[in-house]
Amino acid sequence: MSNLRFQALNAVLTRTVPEVTYPSAKISDFFASNVFDRRKMKEYLSREAYQSVSDSVVLGEQIDREVAEQVASAMKAWAISFGVTHYTHWFQPLTGTTAEKHDSFFEPAGDGQGIEKFSGDALAQQEPDASSFPNGGIRSTFEARGYTAWDPSSPAFIMGKTLCIPTVFVSYTGEALDNKAPLLRALGALDKAAVGVAQYFDKSVEKVNASLGIEQEYFLVDLALFNARPDLYLTGRTLFGHMSAKNQQLEDHYFGSIPDRVLAFMQDLEIESLKLGIPLKTRHNEVAPSQFECAPIYEEINLAIDHNQLLMDLMDKVARRHNFKVLLHEKPFAGINGSGKHNNWSLITNTGKNLLAPGKTPKNNLMFLTFFVNTVKAVYEHSDLLRASIASVSNDHRLGANEAPPAIISIFLGSQLNDVLDEIETSRVTSKMKQEPTLWTNIPKIPQILLDNTDRNRTSPFAFTGNKFELRAVGSSANSAGPMTVLSLIVAEQLGKFKVEVDKLLKKGEKKDVALMTVIKRYIKESKSIRFEGNGYSDEWTAEAEKRGLSNIKTTPKALDVLIAEKTEKLFEETGVFSKREAHARHEILLENYYKKLQIEARVMGELVNNVIIPASIAYQSELITNVKGLKELGLDENTYAAQLEIITKLSEHINFIRTNVLEMVNERKKANVIEDLREKSIAYDEKVKSYFDPIRYHVDKLERLVADDKWPLPKFRELLFIK
């Protein structure tokens, strides 16, 4: 057999390190050069038009037609100066990736000539013929139209020779069909609620924006080796593979020196990202071999998410130029660490204040405490929804796998803040305290700068890290819009409730600080069970969490139930983020995605076992049989071929096992396929089909250890993970 594995290994040996040239010595010279940002708008637009776009970005006001016309023609002029020929509405459908449909600026004029055109209408709205995007039943064929609409808060950019315009994607009836529309709605709700509360402390706060910094983990494998692994290129992860003798046990990869080929890729990726205004700042090796991380400086959340989506796209494109494949899957290799996407989240006012940064004065401390405790309370109230927002078939492999936070949502605050909350809980807040300072005598001082001494508890899914919360449970391949929409909307709802309660007390004549502290204190008490400072990976925590009544929903189909629960319906409705129909549609889409991915994995597994693993194993076994026959012919005694016989028997055992189990799995798949109800079907796929994966894999991996190395068809872990 012409073994693809050896062809690939040869290809890797001939790789060279491509030269990377920076467009300019200073990053500031080319940063955002491919973005139609504020600076360029100012240059290309009239003052009025510029102001109107600015207002729309800052205040969310509608842009009128005339201005859109001006912006379109400015964008076109700018883009054409870069040799751009096409434009596209760039959007984030519920497939998890980004989508684009390119149209040319060129329009024939009828006289054999033509002209480059881009109208305000074309900028503002498009109707992609996109009836096959996931819609969860929202778009029946008679109303199959979907519209993309310009999001002026995320600037247009150039990719290749195409002008890309960030847009939302909605149905004819206005329902969200993408990840961005609900995010923008949640951010609107959050802004309103947070401003309402911030005004207790500072009347100059008119706008609150969430900020987000996303740390992105990923694996790199050589493109040739990747292409020799059908499981990798069809499912994004290895379905088989015996652990390499050396893996991450020496802990020598983490923060180690970056291999030259990888560094060249990273530099190239940084150049492309920086040109698109993605402020990439950090790069380093991660824990597992061939695992890396990059992180930008945090930005306004909507932009940060667009940038992360764009970054994932760029990673793939740039990697190809370096003969690498980027694996964004949460668990591409069993037995070593998987990848996540840490979401660092904070709330920043138009006055530049971070509401989650402890302040210097008691007043600022109280403002911090308010937002801090409300966030804790929101996560406590809706931990299941947060869990659902990070649920996916691929993240199921990672959560709770002793290298990623468990599926139990808890909050880590660090010992200092934990103590502060404990002390507040037991302190007396009374309206008899007339003078403000007296109120504070019982309240512990919050240390100003916690940044340097926040404990780094890596086992917590949601940790406070000095001036921001870090949601660490998000999967590496996920669109952060999902979890960030949920986080934003639950905090919005919580702040709204808080304001109602405080206002009630104020109406009764309570002093402001006392009113605030009274509610804060109660929230601290009520949400106590979600706080956990210990080791989230431990079995003790699982038991303790159960005692506390915290959920531990291990698999996606059940984790998603909460999306259509009554409590959630109310929450969605009150915050205006999802209608009932939208929530049900999303629930359906996520379930469909879940079982379909398992279906694909099961099929790939079956194909590989039947057509690759078994034939290779039998071929080797035949060689052994020939050998034994020969030895027998020579009249040698049984001892001379005892080992061969033993291997022959073992091979047969493993071959039998995988053959029969694949057949049984196919049978279970057939049964699952006829189940109509998507939840039932997904659960059947999880419990009846996926349950075959590990046993089959175990025996395939045993075969890998028995079959002669030169007969094994699939690149091994040691090759995928260590060859650079």
| Positions that interact with Mg ion (CB under 5 A) | 342
Judged by DSSP in three states, 279 sits in coil
Residues with Cβ within 8 Å of 506's Cβ and at least 6 positions away in sequence, in order, are 512, 515
Cβ distance to Mg ion smaller for residue 134 or 483: 483
Query: SS3 sequence, 90-141?
Result: EECECCCCCEEEEEECEEECCCCCEEECCCHHHHHEECCCCCCCCCCCCCCH
Residue with smaller CB distance to Mg ion, 536 or 713: 536
What residue has token string 């091994």?
A: 716
Minimum CB separation of residue 338 from ligand ADP in Å reads 17
Work out what residue 531 binds among ligand ADP, Mg ion, none; the CB cut-off runs from 5 to 8 Å by kind.
Answer: none
SS3 of residue 18 by DSSP: coil
- Beta carbon of residue 357, minimum distance to ligand ADP (angstroms, whole number): 7
Residue closer to ligand ADP by CB (options 467, 599) is 467
User: What residue ranges bind ligand ADP (CB under 6 A)?
Assistant: 211-213, 215, 295-298, 344-346, 354, 465, 467-468
- Judged by beta carbon, residue 218 or residue 324, the one nearer ligand ADP is 218
Minimum separation from the CB atom of position 329 to ligand ADP (A)? 22
CB of residue 217 to Mg ion, shortest distance in Å: 11
- SS3 category, 601: helix
CB 253, CB 289: distance < 8 Å: yes
Q: What is the dihedral of CA 48, 50, 55, 56, to 10 degrees?
A: 120
In whole angstroms, give the CA distance from residue 530 to residue 505: 27
Strands 462-464 vs 411-412: parallel, antiparallel or unpaired: parallel
Residues 6 or more apart in contact with residue 692 via CB below 8 angstroms: 602, 661, 662, 664, 665, 668
Spatial neighbors of 207 by CB under 8 A, at least 6 apart, are: 58, 59, 191, 195, 349, 350
CB of 472 to Mg ion, least distance (A): 8
The minimum distance between CB 311 and ligand ADP, in angstroms, equals: 12
Name the DSSP class of 337.
-
Tell me which of ligand ADP, Mg ion, none is bound by residue 418, counting a contact when its beta carbon lies within the kind-specific cut-off of 5 to 8 angstroms: none
307 versus 690: smaller Cβ distance to ligand ADP:
307
Q: Which residue is at the shortest CB distance from ligand ADP? A: 213
Least distance in angstroms from the C-beta of 276 to ligand ADP: 17
Name the residue nearer to ligand ADP (CB basis): 191 or 222. 191
Pick the closer one to ligand ADP by CB: 398 or 472. Answer: 472
Shortest Å distance, C-beta 458 to Mg ion = 9
> Cα(93)–Cα(530) distance, rounded to whole angstroms?
33
Q: How far is the CB of 344 from Mg ion (least distance, A)?
A: 6
- DSSP assignments along 470-529, one per residue: EE--SBTTS-THHHHHHHHHHHHHHHHHHHHHHHHHHHTT--HHHHHHHHHHHHHHHTGG
C-beta closer to Mg ion: residue 50 or 292: 292
**From Mg ion, ligand ADP, none, interface partner of 211 (C-beta below 5 to 8 A by class):** ligand ADP
Nearest-10 crossing angle of helices 512-526, 415-426: 110
Transcribe 641-710 into DSSP letters: GHHHHHHHHHHHHHHHHHHHHHHHHHHHHHHHHT--SHHHHHHHIIIIIGGGHHHHHHHHHHHHHHS-GG
Q: Which of 451, 476, 473, 450 is nearest to 460 (CA)?
A: 473
Strand 146-150 and strand 162-171: the pairing is antiparallel
Identify which of residues 216 and 395 has a Cβ nearer to ligand ADP in the complex: 216
Residue number with CB closer to ligand ADP (484 or 589):
484
Least distance to ligand ADP from the beta carbon of 359, Å? Answer: 14
Q: Which is nearer to ligand ADP, 344 or 494 (CB)?
A: 344
Question: Residue 176 touches which of ligand ADP, Mg ion, none (CB < 5 to 8 A by kind)?
Answer: none
Identity of the residue, 215 or 384, whose beta carbon is nearer to ligand ADP in the bound complex: 215
Q: Which helix (H) or strand (E) holds 157?
A: strand 157-159
The whole-angstrom separation of Cα 188 and Cα 599 is 38
Using the minimum distance from each CB to ligand ADP, give the nearer residue, 202 or 592: 202
Q: Least distance (Å) from ligand ADP to the CB of residue 153? A: 17
Q: How far is the CB of 369 from ligand ADP (least distance, A)?
A: 17
**Angstrom distances, CA of residue 224 to CA of 4, 227, 324, 327, 686:** 9, 5, 8, 14, 32
Residues 6+ apart with CB under 8 A from 659: 609, 610, 614
Query: Minimum distance between the CB of residue 253 and Mg ion, rounded to whole angstroms?
Result: 18
Which tokens go with 273? 């990202």
442 binds, among Mg ion, ligand ADP, none (CB under 5 to 8 A by kind): none
- 710-721 in b/e burial notation, b at 16+ Cβ within 10 A? ebbbbbbbbbbb
